[in-house]
Structures are given as C-alpha cells and as structure tokens.
Structure 1
Amino acid sequence: MRRFTVALAALALTVSACAGNGSAASGDGTSTLRWATSYFPTHWDPVVSGSGAQFRELALVYASLTKTDENGNAVPDLAESWTYNDTGDQVTFHLRPKLTFSDGTPVNAAAVKAAIERAKTQKNSALFGDLTSIKSVTTSGDLDVVVQLTQTDYQIPLLFGERVLQVASPAADPTALDQKPVGAGPFVVTQLTPGTKVVLKKNPDYWDAANIHIENVELVSAPDAATVVSGLQTGVYNFADITPNNAEAAKAAGLDVFVQPGFNANNISINVNKAPFTNPKVVDAVRHAINRQEFVDKLGFGYGEATDQPFPKKYVAYDPQSADKYAYDPAKAKELLKGIPPIKLTLVIPSADPQAEIVQSQLAAVGITVDIKVDKNWATPFFAKDLTLSLYGTTGRDSAVQTLTAHFGPNGPLNLSSPYQPAGFEAAVAKVRQTPLEAADYASVLQAATRAGLESKALVFTYSSPNLLAKSKSVSALPANPGHIDWTGVKIG
C-alpha cells in the first residue's frame, strides 16, 4: 500500500484540570464515553445517511469490510483479507469466521452481498453513486464475497471502508434502522431518541472486542459551542467536537485539544453551464480574486490552512506540480474582466456562513457584485445543478479516486457543472484504477489524475478546516486515523 504521513497536531497542555473534569466513570463503575457531537446522525441507516461526517458516529454501531490505518491504507475489518484476479476486474473478500450482528444474524457472504446490493438499488440510497464500478456480487461458500467490476479497479478495498459500506443486518427492516440500528460494530444501541440522544453498550461479539475498553457510550446532540466547552469542563461530557474559536477556552479549562487528521476542504462551486461562467475569463478572474489565507486568518483561529486542492499536503494524492497554480492576484483578475459587462451574481448557501461574506468581499474588490441568498432547501437545486454559484465543504473519502470523481467527474455529486469535466480527466482516473495500490508508480499516476482534475473550472478550493476535538484527560489518546474516529485501544480512567 502507498503510505503517507498526516501531521497530528497534539497540543501539550499545562493547565491543571478543573474540578469535575477528571472522572469519566458512570454511577455503576463502568467506563462511559459521554460524547457531544455537532454531527448527530439524522439517519441511522448507513445507506441513507451516506454523506457528511455522520459516518463517524454510525461507526459505533456498524463495521465495514475494511477500515483505514494511520497511514490511510486499507486494513482488515469484517474481511480479514482480499484477493484480486489477474485482470483486476474481480475482487474476493474473505470474511472472518463465526461473526454475528447484534441481533444474532450471521455476518456471512450473503449478508455482505445484500448490503452492497441495497446500497446500489435502494430508492433513497446516498451511496449508489459511489458504487458505479460494481457490476455484480456473488458468494462463494459462506465467507467469500466475490465482487465483479465494470472495469479494472484496484481502489475497491479503500472504497469498502466505513465511509461507504457500513454493513447492517440483512434481517433488520431497513425502514426501522433509524429507530433500531443493527450492525456488527463495537457497540450496540440500547436506547435511541431521534435527533437527541443514543445510549450504547459494548458489543461482546465484535471481532476486536478485546481492544474495546469502553463499556458504555452516551452520544448526544451538542448544544451551542460555548455550552459544549462548559459541559466538558464540568464532566457532563468527556469528549466532543469543538469549533476553532472555542479551542482556547477548552485549553484554559484543562482539556486536551487536538486535531484529528482529515480530508476536509472547502470550495467555491461554479456552474460553467450558466452565464457569466460560460466565459472562461470570468472563471479565471474568480480564481485569481480569491485570497485563501484570509479564510484561515478569519475563520481558523490558528487552525486549518489555505489549500487549492481537495487533499492535504504530504498525502499521496496531493500534486505538488499544481500548487498555487492560480495564485491570489487581484490585478490579474481585474485585467481578465476588462471589456466584460458588469457582473452580478447570487451566491446561494444553506445557512448563514462567514465564508460567504469573505467571498463577497474578495469578488467585490475586483468588480464582481455578489448577493448572498440563504436557502434552507439549498441541497435540492445544488444537486440538481441548478445553481450558478455556491459554497461546499467535503469531509473527503478514503479512496482518492472517489474524492476526485466526486469533485471533477461528469456525474460527480460535488461537481456543480455536471456533465462538464476537464479534458483528460476520465483517462487519468482510469489509469489510477488500473494501477495496484502497491505499484511503484502508483503515487505519480494518482497525482497526474489530481492534476487533470484541478484543470476543472467548476471548483475553487479555499481552505481546509480541521477535525478539532476536545476531551477530558481521563480519556486516553485516539488513533490518528485520517478522517475517522477510532475507539480501538482507547481507555477511560
């Protein structure tokens, strides 16, 4: 597997813990994780939930065929190994023996086959677009899942991680999973109040239960950011995601504040099928009008970094040759707009967002007027490709190819300009799929695909926002798996 290093910014804190911050044990003496999350799942059916950051919470309940390690490589989860055929268009996943879902149903090849097919065909699936390489799924015996592909594709082990293929029990009614989720993950739901709170207990039948040291989990929907820090300080919670502007308060309260590595990237989404972006000069003017560092300075509070790519630096897919290709140059932007009639745009966003005001200000500086419109039903016109200009933030994917195609592909859900794609992109991505992950030239082939994708006129990346977390000192360090929250080995003392 190709390796990469993601820096983990661990902050050494010297302030002593405030009263009430030390013990995380519940009244019955067992170790309890009390997690306040801003991403409380709207759905507990992983096929419907699909996107956003909610897969991290669903991973409490559901296991996947694979997961990623600290280097971003695919490693065993429900599948203990996998093998490709000689042509790379068929992969067989070999499941661990004697596993069960929390309802007692066997975790076997038939169950995994059903999970993949449901993700591909269920009417309200959020995942079908991620599974276009899957031609068919068959079983070989009780434990082998044979996946036939539409093309050579060595990305499948990365694809079948918790971001896309969290496996629910085939015996569970899919329409009831939002109230009664049933998986084979490290914890089992015992109580669920939709949108508010979920109580879970350790799953003794989880394949790696010996390395799960947390007995109970209380997952609650986080209140406002300031209240979360207060709750962490007093022991109401012992783990939570926090916003950058509350990091200093959390540190002062004696909490461990850390950045979990990830693939978060924010962008300005452009529709080149609508005027004025049918004129490439206008697109380039917007590219050069954007001062990425301003986003970091005003929104990051010392966290995050400016970026012009959907991947962090030092990640295998990051393309050094494309760095700063469209540098901040307002004078050049003005020059590109000479002779073009005055431009007035509507920037449509789902909720009030300071990013929008920064974009408005920066484009005004080069002569483009932007009106900001908040539309709570923004997702409908965005994914229908009806908007001209919008903002988007992504949590990324475990498969770099999946990230690239989602942003730049002709059917990419994050490509506001569909069916447009940059010239040469499709061929570059096909070459990546045809390259085994362990091949010597994998990095260069992947970076060439990134380079081709970044020729797209449909996106202008701005800055990466961190996965910023805070915990009481009684909760031990978490594995630094990029994009994921992994409770393996974590102890509450």
Structure 2
Amino acid sequence: MAFGRRITYLAMMAAVAMGLVACTGGAPSPGVTDKANADVTTGQFGGQQLAIGKPVEGGELTWGIWLPIQTLEPAGVMGDSMVLAMKSIFGSLMSATADGGVKPNLAKSLKTQDNVVWTMALDPDVKFTDGTPLNAAAVITHLTNVAAEGSTSTQAGDARKIAGMTAVDDFTVKFTLAAPNNQFGLLFTENSMGFIPSPTAKEAAGADFATKPVGAGPFKVESFTPGAKVVLVKNPDYKFASEGLPYLDKVTLTTVQEENSRIDGVRAGNLDGATVASVPAVEKARAAGLVGLEQPAYSAFYMILNNQNEVLSDIRVRTALNEAIDRKAVNQVVYEGLHQPMDGILVPSHPYAGKGAKWPSENVKDAKKLIDEYLADTGKSKLDLTVTIVPGGDNAQVAPLVQQMLGAIGVTVNIETQDQTALVGKFAGGDFDIALITRAFQPETTTALSQAFRTGSTRNWSKVSIPELDALFDKSAAALSDADRLAVVPKILDVLAKNVVTVPIVSAGSGRVLGPKVKGFPDGDPTTRTIEVFDLSSVWVAK
C-alpha cells in the first residue's frame, strides 16, 4: 500500500465530484523499459529484468514473501509463496515458453500424436538430493497421490483426468487421458503435477516430509519454520549445475505480509528484495532509490461467488453485485488510478479481453431493483453475505470498499479473514458466500478458464456447473491446432458473461522490489497462477 492511500470510498467520491482527482487511463504497459535505469530491460516473458554485469556464482539472498508458507507438501494445497518455494525445491518437469508453449525441464520430452496418449521421457541423470533417481515410478507414485480421494491439491481434478499411467521402462511414462487435452504439458510447468518428490524420502519421513521435503530442484531445504521462513541452500547436483545454476548459495524466504513493510525492509537492508502487488508500490520503491521491476499482470481482484449458495444461485443477485461495484473508484482509492478497472472476466490488457458478451457494469439503481425483487419473491426481509479474505496484500483495503458499495444496494456484508489453507478448505467444501481473491487468466487462456469454471474442477471455486460451458471446454481441449483451440474462447466468454458467474473488480499489479545487493533478476513466468513466482536459480547478487 503506497503512502496516501488510506482514504475512504466516500471521501474519494466527494473529491471526484469536486474535480480534485484525476483518473488515468489504466496501468502502464507491462514490460516497458525503465528509462531511469539502463540495466533494466524487457525480458523474454514481457516483464522487466535486471542484469548488471555477468552472472556471479555464490552469495545469499533474503527475500520477502507475502503469504505464510505452512507446508512444503507438493501433493497438497498450493498457491502464491508456496509455489515459489516448492518450484525451487522440486524443480518442474516442464517449463513454460514465451509463446505459451512448453519445453522440457527436469524431463527430457513430452510427446503425443492425438492429445490422448502422451509419452514422457525422463532424464536418467536427474537425481533427488537423497541420491535416488527421478524415474517413472516416482512420477506415477506422486501423480497417484495428487489424484487420490481426499487430496487437497488444487491440481487433483487435473490429475484425475489421467485414465491410466504406465511405466514403459524405468525412465519413460505413458499417460492415457480420459479425454483429449492439447494443453496437457502446461500442467507440469507449475503446481503439484510438475513438482515430483522423492518417494523413498517421503515414505521414510511420513508426515514429517511436509517440513523436510526432498526434491531434485536447484535448492534443498536447510530449515523450515512454518508460517515464518524457509531457508534453502544450493543443490550441487542440480541438472543444470554445469551451467552454473543456481547462482546463489543460500536463499531465505521470510514472511512479511504488509506490502509497505516489505518495501521498508528492502530499504533498511533487512531484505534484499520482495514481491509487491501494485504499480504504486513499484513506483514508491523507485522513488526510494530501489530497483522496481514491473511484470505482466493478467491477474485481477474478483469476488468469487458461490454459485451453489441459496442466495447467489439466483442470477438477479449475482447481476446486482456486479452492478453495485464502482470499479473506477476502487482503482483510484486503492491503486491511485494506476491499475485497470475490469469490464469483463479478463483484464483489459489481455489479448482476448472484450471478445465475449458485455459484462454487467455499474448501475446502482438497477442493482437495488434486482435485490428488492429477489427479497419480495423469496419472502426474505434482508440479505446478509460474508466476504472472506486472506491476510496481507490489498485485500484489507478492497474489502471495506466492497462492503460499502454492496451496503448501498441493501446487502449487508460481514468480512472474515482466513489463512490460505483454511480458505482453500472452504472452497473445497462450498462453505463460503463470497471470497475476495486475486486470480489469473493467462494469455494461453483455455487451460486457466477450464480449471476455474469446468464442472467438478478442484479449482472451480465458484461451483459453476453449466453443460454448455463444459462442452466448449471439451471442444477446445480436443482441437488439433492452436487456432482451433483459441477460436472457442469468445464463445466461452459469452457463456460466462451470460451467466454472470463472478464479479471482476480491478486488475492486480505484479512487481519486484530489489535492493543494491541484487545484480541479476529474471522477468516472471506468465503461465503461473500467482504473482509470487520467478526463477530463483537465475538470481545473482554481489558477494
């Protein structure tokens, strides 16, 4: 949160009425070179990167993260800071490319002829840090755990779409899918399915594996204090060690939930760098003499509506909630007008933004009318809803604005705070009304939309079940070319808009703040679902 942003919605509206606030046309273009710093350039993924001189091996990095890391179990709940840590510990079988495709990482290859049967070749030279091989048995064992009944992994639904797995030999796995999926490779670039643990170490450690994990990534765990910090040290046997990776000898990921405190920590030298979630935060860091790196932001704040909830299953209520939100005001109050008010389910800078039907926009008069109709038809005297948020970030600022705006149409909103693990549990059980979170729909589009809105998906937190939509997802996944796959996207967006399944509010920023010790830092990977993730192995510092 930047200085001067503690201002109420009502005060802001008064300032707008008096002409005292000038609104901008949206966030700066992501990835634009910082002209004030010649060492900051645009990287392969369109974000800003830092390179001062040539990479240097050695040294330590202390990095400020947003959300506490409670577990390092790769078959469990995954998100935000957890992904950064686990990608560093376990590596990923595949990696994303700048054009939205995938390439081998710890795996050697992944091939298919029909998008149903896929063959993954593994590298016999890749070993876990306990010396055991990352082989076919390890992959099959892990994916079986991810797909198991009762799994808390956000990729459990994806793993369950694998109808069969066979070890062709020690280092080759054949996957047979229940239905075609031309984006199957993307599932191994992030999150549970791509992060393979040592089955030997997991069996020996039992429940303790979540605090003492063993992987084959660029780093291994030296110590872990759940909720506070993770200390990682260099894995000298990493697959890409011959290329000098990772450059760092040691990394400490430390939890600092408040954004100002992370920036202040970098200024004071207590942190070497930190993730921030807004353009004003990046600008504040630059003004303080730090390096600020903006990243492409395809994520936004959404009110995730439980479509199976008795109240929210009524489209009139969902439409009214959309019409109650003054998105430009939220942008101005929370982000000084530097982000992008949402006019659809995709951020305005997204290549498919505006391709579908029009989304309900602000119309307080109509919103009140819809709520009154709902109350009259159901015999209810009032409408109370609970908005759940996670601590940290800008949730604490956006939630009260939502509370005020919904109150203006006759909806009483209670705000509750839950940690990330508890919130995921609420999503799984449908035990919530509304959750205020950031969510990303990357340029490849179809995989993320399918995970978010397909019937039965473990990431379908909105509890949407629309047969027409599922059929479109099936058609997209079965397409034999990217052109045919993406041609379905506008139709998917039409159905989502017609059913008003969620409430998009304002785009979320993504940036890195770096102190003087950091000399090399990559741009972010746009296929990840979280702003926290980058390649720690490619960071270097002055020793």
TM range (shorter): 0.7 to 0.9
Residues 1:323 and 1:53: Cα distance change in structure 2 (over 3 Å)? farther
Give the whole-Å Cα distance in 1 for the aligned partners of 2:144 and 2:239: 24
Gap regions ≥5 residues in structure 2: 1-28, 39-51
1:183 to 194, 215, 219: 215
Residues 1:469 and 1:10: Cα distance change in structure 2 (over 3 Å)? farther
Aligned to 1:131: 159
Residues 1:456 and 1:393: Cα distance change in structure 2 (over 3 Å)? farther
Give secondary structure in 2 for the equivalent of 1:162: coil
Tell me if structure 1 keeps the 8 A contact 2:303–2:502.
yes
Residues 1:123 and 1:369: Cα distance change in structure 2 (over 3 Å)? closer
Aligned to 1:461: 504
TM-score (norm 2): 0.78
Give the whole-Å Cα distance in 2 for the aligned partners of 1:412 and 1:134: 14
Tell whether 2:379 aligns with 1:345: no
For 1:42-81, list aligned pairs within 5 A.
42-81=70-109
Aligned to 1:389: 434
Give the whole-Å Cα distance in 1 for the aligned partners of 2:468 and 2:405: 31
Give secondary structure in 2 for the equivalent of 1:476: strand
Give the whole-Å Cα distance in 1 for the aligned partners of 2:514 and 2:105: 26
Identity of aligned residues (%): 23
Aligned to 1:207: 239
What's the offset of the Cα at 1:148? Answer: 1.0
Tell whether 2:143 aligns with 1:116: yes
- Cα deviation digits, residues 460-489 of structure 1 (max 9, x gap): 111221223201243323133213301354
Residues 1:122 and 1:285: Cα distance change in structure 2 (over 3 Å)? closer
Aligned to 2:10: none
Give secondary structure in 2 for the equivalent of 1:33: strand
Give the whole-Å Cα distance in 2 for the aligned partners of 1:189 and 1:145: 28
Aligned to 2:339: 304
2:488 maps to a residue whose letter is V
2:513 maps to a residue whose letter is A
What's the offset of the Cα at 1:278? Answer: 4.4
For 1:304-343, list aligned pairs within 5 A.
304-313=339-348, 315=350, 318-322=352-356, 324-337=358-371, 339-340=373-374, 341=376, 343=382
What's the offset of the Cα at 1:89? Answer: 1.1
Aligned to 1:435: 479
- Cα deviation digits, residues 158-189 of structure 1 (max 9, x gap): 11112232111111125222221111111122
Residues 1:442 and 1:65: Cα distance change in structure 2 (over 3 Å)? same
Aligned to 1:476: 520
Tell whether 2:406 aligns with 1:363: yes
Residues 1:9 and 1:324: Cα distance change in structure 2 (over 3 Å)? farther
Gap regions ≥5 residues in structure 1: 1-5, 16-23
Residues 1:400 and 1:131: Cα distance change in structure 2 (over 3 Å)? farther
Give the whole-Å Cα distance in 2 for the aligned partners of 1:303 and 1:278: 34
Give the whole-Å Cα distance in 2 for the aligned partners of 1:49 and 1:335: 40
Aligned to 1:21: none
For 1:205-354, list aligned pairs within 5 A.
205-209=237-241, 210-212=243-245, 213-222=247-256, 224-242=258-276, 244=278, 246-301=281-336, 303-313=338-348, 315=350, 318-322=352-356, 324-337=358-371, 339-340=373-374, 341=376, 343-350=382-389, 353-354=396-397
What's the offset of the Cα at 1:248? Answer: 4.2
Tell me if structure 2 keeps the 8 A contact 1:185–1:203.
yes
Residues 1:129 and 1:440: Cα distance change in structure 2 (over 3 Å)? closer
Give the whole-Å Cα distance in 2 for the aligned partners of 1:395 and 1:56: 16
Tell me if structure 2 keeps the 8 A contact 1:261–1:481.
no
Tell me if structure 2 keeps the 8 A contact 1:319–1:447.
no
Aligned to 1:88: 115
Tell whether 2:468 aligns with 1:405: no
Aligned to 1:31: 59
1:167 to 162, 174, 196: 196
What's the offset of the Cα at 1:104? Answer: 0.7
Give secondary structure in 1 for the equivalent of 2:199: coil
Give the whole-Å Cα distance in 2 for the aligned partners of 1:378 and 1:187: 29
- Cα deviation digits, residues 204-236 of structure 1 (max 9, x gap): 222222152222212222264333323212332
Give the whole-Å Cα distance in 2 for the aligned partners of 1:164 and 1:398: 21
More helix by share: 2
Residues 1:9 and 1:290: Cα distance change in structure 2 (over 3 Å)? farther
What's the offset of the Cα at 1:271? Answer: 3.5
Residues 1:44 and 1:10: Cα distance change in structure 2 (over 3 Å)? farther
Tell whether 2:540 aligns with 1:491: yes
Tell me if structure 2 keeps the 8 A contact 1:10–1:257.
no
Give the whole-Å Cα distance in 1 for the aligned partners of 2:267 and 2:303: 37
Give secondary structure in 2 for the equivalent of 1:421: coil
Give the whole-Å Cα distance in 1 for the aligned partners of 2:461 and 2:133: 42
What's the offset of the Cα at 1:272? Answer: 4.0
Give secondary structure in 2 for the equivalent of 1:320: coil
Give the whole-Å Cα distance in 2 for the aligned partners of 1:351 and 1:94: 40
Give the whole-Å Cα distance in 2 for the aligned partners of 1:101 and 1:193: 22
1:91 maps to a residue whose letter is W
Aligned to 1:8: 31
